[in-house]
Structure 1
Amino acid sequence: MAQSFLFRNWWVLLLQGILLIGLSVVIFKNPNAVLAAVALWLGAIVLVTGLVGFISWFSMANEERSISIMLGSCAMIIIGLLMITKMLITIKAITVLFGLLTAIVGWMVISGSWNARKQWSLWWVVALLGVFTLITGIKSIMDVYTGSESISNLIGFAVLLSGIGLIFFAFLKRILVNKIKDRIQKD
């Protein structure tokens, strides 16, 4: 009985994979909307975190209460509200942080490939990837639209690969179900 529950409905995974691939197309076509949604959710998470800290401060015993917890929670509430109400600033902050991280990774890849040039003949391929990453990071810092495209592409590729993986897993599950049924019928 447990096996039938575990292995049935392979088509649900297939449907989820197809929907994720469709979602990835939407993500690739709407980079600004994706970044606005990310900024909104990030602001909401910061706001809720501050509210939870604020509410939990009142539930603590008096000797456990700390003014730093209350001040930190209030700061989180204010920052969350600002992130939600000043969406353009939040989007710019996200693209600048993304650009900085990408540029740092690019620089580290270039540096690592340069240091490995004597041990590896294809070091220059890795160095070119590092240069591309560094340029992408700098462009993301300078231009919000380029940053939103880069972030959207990363999210889109992650969703696309997840959809492909679910489709593969659905067919694998179907094959396994058929093999198990055949084996049970033989016994």
Structure 2
Amino acid sequence: MQNKWWIPLLKGIVFIILGILSLMHPLNALLTLGAYIGYVSIFTGILYFIYYFTNKNEQEFTSWFLLEGLLDIVFGIVILSNPTRTAEVLPLLLGFWIILLGIVQISGGFALGKIYPKGKIWLLILGVLSIIFGFMIVNSPVISGMAITTMLGIFFLAYGGIQIYSSFKLKD
């Protein structure tokens, strides 16, 4: 698994770039948020598929990477398939996607804890934060677009940072 540490690193870098762009250009981010999230979601899903298929015989918890990759790809395709409708329901889609990712992260954290106890806590923290953030979005879908881009920018920075940190822990 140490030789695939770069996959979460790359995912973290992509999310940090997305977070910075969302915070620096909130109006543009609002207009293109669906496309950002759709493409990034598909990209990270593909990365997790690669991770799964290159590690599936090494660790039992890699099936969680397959599930997260599948969720990411399906979510990205749904968002990109109908941009007008996506703009109308984007907060709800984002909220539910983030909640699902949080559940997968928590489940993966418990599975990872059997093999790598130090990494368990970071996935659990990421999962809980994801679920809380997802519920905040679902419970307030009428939040202004600028608030959503700011919140997403912060979330993407945090998510990216934890992914990068986790990748270096996997490398050790």
TM-score norm. by structure 1 comes to: 0.37
If you compute each CA radius of gyration, which structure gives the higher value, 1 or 2?
A: 1
TM-score norm. by structure 2 comes to: 0.39
